Every structure is written in structure tokens, then in C-alpha cells.
Amino acid sequence: MVNGLNLLFQFLDSFAFIVLAAAGLAIIFGIMGVINLAHGEFIMVGAYATTLANIEYGLPLPAAMLAGVLVTALFGLVVERVIISGWLPNTIGQLTLGRNVIEPLYDRLADSMVATWGLSLVMVQGVRILYGNSLDQIGTPLGNIAYSGFTYSTYRVSLAGVALAVLLVTFLVFRYTEYGMRARATIQDEDTARAMGVDTERTYMTTFAIGSGLAGLTGALYAPTITMVPGLGSSFLVEAFVAVVVGGPSVVLGTTLAGGLLGTINAVFSNVYGTFVGRIALLVTAIVMIRFLPEGITGFVERVRERRQEGV
């Protein structure tokens, strides 16, 4: 029974980690067709901003976390304008040379990977130069749950609730707001959306800022639980990528299902065989899933639904 409780906590922990790590990446990938390899570094920005706001400037933890989210969203906005859409270089180019200097990275998957990889190198090293090899850490709040000889961090377990809330809010935003409708129209058919008066470039800009903000939230939430080193983003990258691949094109549903499936696999294997095997199991699942469901779970669901609609 004790083992069962332990397994449950581990599942909640893994679920939260996977969903939170993937959410920002999934939104940017799903809507803009940009693979942001610097996603882990955006998380790092959120974590650093939170930690600095809390320790250096003495903000209370919730306010520091909000600051972390905002700083990362703002940073994402700048990155989008300068690198992804090339708006800033192109404006300067128009003024000085009379032509555009760079092509936007939208829907150029391979190029966006390479470019954001360059960005991540700069970010990691830049933070290392500015703040050194590590930073003082915020203590983990909320204490531990103790039960018959075992303990588990309350904070980490309660993050599962936050993860669910993030998914719910994302769903509501995309389903019911004006922005959500524009974003969905842009995914479905960019040209038609533009013809109908949707400012797709602004949609992309907002999307990137929201995705970055979510990455920042992940960083802010995990800041009290991980060691503050400039390379901390890479520990999120694996789970984020695996979840996006396994989840497939539908952002909210895909991330939820992927988080559930991968969280279970990770929790079971970690519980029985240890953390290392849990991680390997996650990666092997990803490879097998890509092999059999190249479009992810939701791509598969979509295909089945279409087949059924065509009528047997």
C-alpha cells in the first residue's frame, strides 16, 4: 500500500514535470511551425529571474514567480521580433539597404532548430558570464508529506495541480478568446486567415510571447527545487521534446495525453528500477511512438475519426 502511495506521488510529480516542460514548446511548435531548441534556456531565464527577484530584490516568492514569467515573456517577444520574424533586422535593412535582410523562420523547421540552437549557446554562456557558474537557491516551500517512513515534497506533488490548471487555461484561451480563434485560423490555413483579415504576424508574435511566458512559468515553478546553473534548461529539454512528439499536433489534448502516458511510464519504471531506467524508458517510448504513430497520439486519433466519418 505504501508503495502504491509512493507510486501515485511519483506519477503526479512526473506528470507535472512533463506537462510544464512541454507546454510552451508545444504551443510554439503547433502554431508557428518553429522548433525552439532554446526552449530549455527560456525556462532557465524564468528560473533565474525568479531566483534573483526573490533573493536579490527581496520580493515574496509568488511575486518573484510572476516577475519570472513576465521577464521571460518579454524576452520571448524580443527574440521573436529580432530572430524568428526578423522584423527588427529587416526594418533596419529596409532603411539602410532598401531590402529585407533575413527570411522569417516560420515553418522552416530545420532552420529554426539551427538558429535557436545558436541562440541557446549564446544564452547559456551569457548567463554564465553575467552570474557565474551557479546561483544561491530558494528553499523548497511547503515542506514534506510524511507517511510511514517515506517522505515526498508537498510542493512538487502540488505542481500537478498547477499543471492541470495550465492546461485548462490554455484550453480556454484557445477555445473561447478572440486571440484563440485567430490562432486556430492561422494554424488551419494561414493564407485564408490573412485574407479574412487576421493579422497573422501579430498572432505569431503573441503566440511566441505566450509560449515563452509558459516556459518562464515552468522555470519559476521549478526554481526552488533545482540547482541554479546556466545549463539547467537541458534537463527539461528531453521531457519537453518527447512529450511534443508523443502528443502530436493538437496542443492541449496532446500534451495532456502525453503527460499522462509518459508520466505513468516514468513513474513505474523509476519506482521499480530507479531513476536511470525511468529516463531510458521515456526515451525508448518516444522512439517507438514515432515509429508507429509518426503524427503522435492526437494525429492518430484524428486519422481514426476521419476514417469513421467517411463511413465504413
Residue 304 Cβ, how far from other proteins at the closest point, in Å?
17
Residue 250 Cβ, how far from other proteins at the closest point, in Å?
16
Residue count, binding to other proteins (CB under 8 A):
42
Q: H or E stretch including 57? A: none
Cβ-based neighbours of 56, under 8 Å, separated by 6 or more:
none
Among 5, 61, 70, 128, binds other proteins (CB under 8 A): 128
291 near other proteins, judged by CB under 8 A: yes
First to last CA, the chain: 47
CA nearest neighbour of 218 among 77, 71, 68: 68
Residue 173 Cβ, how far from other proteins at the closest point, in Å?
26
State how far Cα 289 lies from the chain centre.
20
CA nearest neighbour of 20 among 205, 165, 120, 119: 165
283 near other proteins, judged by CB under 8 A: yes
State how far Cα 30 lies from the chain centre.
12
308 near other proteins, judged by CB under 8 A: no
107 near other proteins, judged by CB under 8 A: no
| Residues 30/186, Cβ–Cβ less than 8 Å | no
Cell (9 digits) for 7: 507510486
- Options 1-9, 57-65, 119-127, 301-309: segment touching other proteins (CB under 8 A): 119-127
CB-nearer residue toward other proteins: 114 or 181: 114
Phi, psi of 141, rounded to the nearest 5 degrees: -80, 175
CA nearest neighbour of 263 among 284, 241, 278: 278
In DSSP terms, which residues pair with 152 in a beta bridge?
A: 145
Among 50, 120, 266, 270, binds other proteins (CB under 8 A): 120
- Options 116-124, 155-163, 188-196, 203-211: segment touching other proteins (CB under 8 A): 116-124
Among 2, 78, 92, 103, binds other proteins (CB under 8 A): 103
SS3 label, residue 219: helix
78 near other proteins, judged by CB under 8 A: no
CA distances from 280 to 236, 266, 288 (A): 15, 9, 12
129 near other proteins, judged by CB under 8 A: yes
- Options 44-52, 191-199, 233-241, 252-260: segment touching other proteins (CB under 8 A): 233-241
Distance CA 305, CA 311 (A): 10
204 near other proteins, judged by CB under 8 A: no
Among 8, 92, 122, 168, binds other proteins (CB under 8 A): 122
Burial class of residue 145 in the structure, from the number of CB atoms within 10 Å of its CB (0-12 exposed, 13-18 middle, 19+ buried): middle
Among 227, 294, 304, 305, binds other proteins (CB under 8 A): 294
183 near other proteins, judged by CB under 8 A: no
Per CB under 8 A, residues contacting other proteins are 35, 83, 86, 89, 101-103, 105, 109-111, 113-115, 117-122, 124-126, 128-129, 234, 237-238, 241-242, 245, 276, 279-280, 283-284, 286-287, 290-292, 294
